[in-house]
Structure formats: C-alpha cells, structure tokens
C-alpha cells in the first residue's frame, strides 16, 4: 500500500517516526515546506496521507485521487479544513490521544512549577540573586487542593490520573459528561463550568478549540476565580482572552498563569504577558517527547492501514 507523508520533523524524529511503518507500506516523504507541485508529485498515487504538522491544502488533495484517509498526528484540528477535506470524500482522523501522557505530565510540571515558584527560583539563582523574594512570595502545595480540569479527553483524563497521587479534589467540566465508571476511576466529579471556576485552586485547560470554546475563559469567567487561583493552558491560546487575563493577573484577580500556548504564535516580545512575574510562558512544547513520536507514528500507520483495507477508522474528526 502506498502512503504519502508530509512532514516538518527533524531528521532524528523522522527516523523514529518511520520505524513504525508496516512492512507492506511503500512510503513517499515530502517536506511540509515543499511546493504544492512537489507534494502532489509525492502523494499523487498515495492511498492515504499522514500529515506531521500543519494540514495539507485541499488543492493538493484534489490531485490525489486514491486517498482514503488524511491522518493527522496532532491533538488539535482547529487549523484543518475538515469540511473542505470531507467534501472531497476524504475522512480526517486525529492522533488517537497519543500525546496524552506527554501533555499530562507537562501540565503537572507547569502546575507545580508555578505554585512553588520553581521557575522563578531557578532564574534568580542563575542571575546571582539566589533566594531573593523567597520568603515574601507565596508558595502553595498541590496536595489537598481543588483542581478543575476543563475538557476530559485523553489529556484531561491523564491529568486526573496523575492527580490521584496528590490527593486532590478533582473536578471537571466537559460538554458531555464522561461515564460514571470513568469518573469513579479518575476520582473526579463533574461541575458546570462556572461552579468549577469558583471552586478550583487550579484550573487547567484541555479542551479542543472550536466556536464554542473561543475565549472560553474571558473577563466574566476570570472574575469567578479565587484571587489565589492558578490558570494553566496547554490546549489552544485563543481559548483564553489574553487582554482579560492580563487584567486579572495585574489587579489581583488571580494569582498566576502558566501558558504553553498563546493567541499569537510564535509569540512576539510585545505581548505584555512576558513582563509579568506571575506568568510562565513556554513555546507550545507540551506534546513534544521522543515517546510521543513513536506512539503517534504507530497509531497513524495502523489507522491508515485500516483505511486502505476498508476496516473501521479510529479517531475520526467530524465538522461541527
């Protein structure tokens, strides 16, 4: 079976990815930065295409008549023209939660790093200021706190599993509640969004980005949060109204934020959030690990194989 692969992976990661290809697959690899003509040449005869990084344009897909599946490797699909792809008779599939462990662990790093001032302390020590402000700056333990999870897919559930070891009061909000058995296993209870925001000491966002979640957290929602609350975002930057967040962070509305995603990426230094001591910003790296490459590759190759063989496709994404 012929599989096209459009990638922006570095060579080392690409080797890891390709190790998961099945023996009966003939792969044709093209860089995402290549021209549409080069992508068409590489994928014209493909029976499925795996896209590592940004999505593939419908102009290219129109010239690939045999494609039975466009397979993504990222968790988000807000930049994917699902309707346009589907209009060509091609389904689109997500990554099957293959980055759940990576983002979940990273999230706990952001929570504890922000709550305990780890990043600030490391910067002070490196700059020669050693323990300046150590006694004056609040530092909170996570154990026993109420943590609110927005979104309870693969990543949200991984965060909840990790939190069981912290003896937290874990609450979550999701448009469609998970099964009661899953709630019991995760030690998590459902709350409507506004109630979650009022109760939580930490709010961590793991929802997808769509019309209903754009600026899901804005001025009214931030006003509901405790002044000691922390806000974590590893989903998509535009799920938070950054102007409202800046106001809340500078007026004592909430205590701090840790953001792996921003409304504008790559972030420019003109973003005022950079100037705040109670904010941690990282460059959209929570889903990046060696293990994620292997897991996402294994899922992607297995899924395109299912599509070519006419078997049920997993992790299909449908337009809203």
CATH number, position 195 = 3.40.50.720
Q: Are residues 269 and 174 in the same domain?
A: yes
Half-sphere exposure of 10 (CA within 13 A, CB side): 5
Number of domains forming the structure of the chain:
2
Q: Is the bond preceding 56 in cis, omega lying within 30 degrees of 0?
A: no
> Can 265 be counted among the known catalytic residues?
yes
- Classify burial at 183, counting beta carbons within 10 Å of its beta carbon; exposed 0-12, middle 13-18, buried 19 or more: middle
Q: In this structure, are 128 and 273 located in the same domain?
A: yes
Looking at the fold, whether 105 and 93 belong to one and the same domain comes out as: no
Mean pLDDT for the chain?
A: 94
Enumerate residue ranges in the chain where pLDDT < 50.
none
**Angle, in degrees to the nearest 10, between helices 290-309 and 11-18:** 50
| Structure tokens belonging to residue 15 | 């080797």
How far from 152 is each of 100, 206, 208, CA to CA, in Å? 11, 7, 10
Alpha carbons 116 and 296: distance in angstroms, whole number:
32
Beta bridge mates, 150: 173, 205
Residues 79 and 183 in one domain: no
How far is Cα 315 from Cα 295, in angstroms, rounded to an integer?
14
What was the pLDDT predicted at 210? Answer: 87
What's the pLDDT score for residue 78? 77
Reply yes or no on whether 79 is catalytic: no
Give the residue numbers spanning the domain of 200: 100-281
Q: How far is CA 54 from its chain centroid? A: 14
pLDDT at 25: 97
In angstroms, the CA 93 to CA 2 distance is 18
Active site residue 187: no
What is the Cβ-side half-sphere exposure of residue 310, based on CA atoms within 13 angstroms? Answer: 0
Catalytic residue among 32, 116, 187, 284: 284
Contact 259, 280 (CB under 8 A): yes
30 and 106 in a single domain? The answer is: no
Rounded to a whole number, what is the largest CA-CA distance in the chain? 65
Is residue 197 located within the same domain as residue 111? yes
- Please give the model's pTM, rounded to 2 decimal places: 0.90
What was the pLDDT predicted at 285?
94
Options 19, 38, 141, 265, the catalytic residue: 265
Backbone dihedral region of 180: left (phi > 0), alpha (psi from -120 to 50 degrees) or beta?
alpha
Helix axes 100-115, 290-309, angle to 10 degrees: 150
* Nearest CA among 117, 158, 155 for reference residue 256: 117
Are the C-beta atoms of 27 and 21 separated by less than 8 Å? yes
181's enclosing H/E stretch is: helix 180-186
Looking at the fold, whether 189 and 165 belong to one and the same domain comes out as yes
152 shares its domain with 241: yes
Question: What separation, in Å, do the N-terminal and C-terminal C-alpha atoms of the chain show?
Answer: 32
Q: What is the pLDDT of residues 257-275, one digit of tens each?
A: 999 999 999 999 999 999 9
| Residue among 319, 296, 260 at smallest CA distance from 97 | 296
Tell whether the torsion through CA atoms of 245, 246, 252 and 254 is positive or negative.
Answer: positive
Residues 200 and 266 both lie in one domain: yes
- Whether 38 and 139 map to the same domain: the answer is no
Name the packing angle between helices 154-163 and 100-115 (round to 10°).
50
Q: Does 266 share its domain with 297? A: no
Residue 47: per-residue pLDDT: 98
Among 120, 158, 206, 236, which one carries the catalytic annotation? Answer: 236
Same domain? For 90 and 201 the reply is: no
The predicted pLDDT at position 235 comes to: 96
| E strand or H helix that includes residue 155 | helix 154-163
* 184-204 pLDDT, tens digit each: 999 999 999 999 999 999 999
Burial of 154 (0-12, 13-18, 19+ CB in 10 A): buried
Please, what's the b/e burial string for 84-102 (b: 16 or more CB within 10 A of its CB; e: otherwise)?
bbbeeebbbbbbbbbbbbb
**How confident is the model at residue 320, as a pLDDT?**
67
């Amino acid at each position: 079976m012929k599989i096209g692969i459009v990638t922006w992976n570095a060579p080392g990661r690409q080797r890891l990815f390709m190790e998961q290809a099945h023996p009966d697959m003939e792969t044709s690899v093209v860089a995402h930065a290549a021209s549409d003509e080069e992508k068409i040449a590489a994928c014209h005869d493909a029976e499925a295409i795996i896209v590592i990084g940004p999505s593939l344009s419908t102009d290219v897909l129109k010239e690939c008549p045999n494609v039975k599946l466009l397979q993504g490797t990222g968790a988000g699909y807000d930049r994917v023209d699902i309707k346009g792809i589907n209009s060509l008779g091609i389904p689109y599939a997500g990554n099957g939660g293959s980055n759940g462990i990576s983002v979940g662990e990273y999230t706990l790093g952001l929570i504890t790093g922000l709550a305990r001032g780890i990043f600030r302390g490391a910067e002070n020590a490196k700059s020669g200021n050693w323990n300046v402000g150590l006694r004056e700056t609040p530092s909170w333990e996570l154990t026993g706190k109420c943590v609110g999870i927005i979104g309870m897919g693969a990543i949200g559930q991984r965060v909840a599993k990790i939190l069981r070891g912290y003896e937290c009061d874990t609450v979550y909000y999701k448009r469609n509640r998970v099964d009661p058995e899953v709630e019991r296993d995760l030690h998590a209870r459902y709350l409507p969004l506004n109630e979650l925001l009022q109760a939580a000491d930490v709010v961590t966002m793991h929802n997808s980005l769509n019309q209903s979640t754009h600026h899901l957290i804005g001025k009214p929602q931030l006003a509901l949060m405790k002044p000691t609350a922390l806000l974590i975002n590893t989903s998509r930057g535009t799920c938070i109204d950054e102007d409202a967040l800046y106001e809340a962070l500078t007026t004592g509305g909430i205590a701090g934020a840790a953001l792996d995603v921003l409304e504008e990426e790559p972030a420019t230094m003109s973003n005022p959030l950079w100037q705040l001591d109670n904010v941690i910003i990282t460059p959209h790296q929570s889903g990046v690990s060696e293990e994620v490459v292997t897991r996402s590759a294994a899922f992607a190759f297995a899924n395109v194989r299912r599509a070519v063989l006419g078997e049920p496709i997993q992790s299909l994404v449908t337009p809203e």
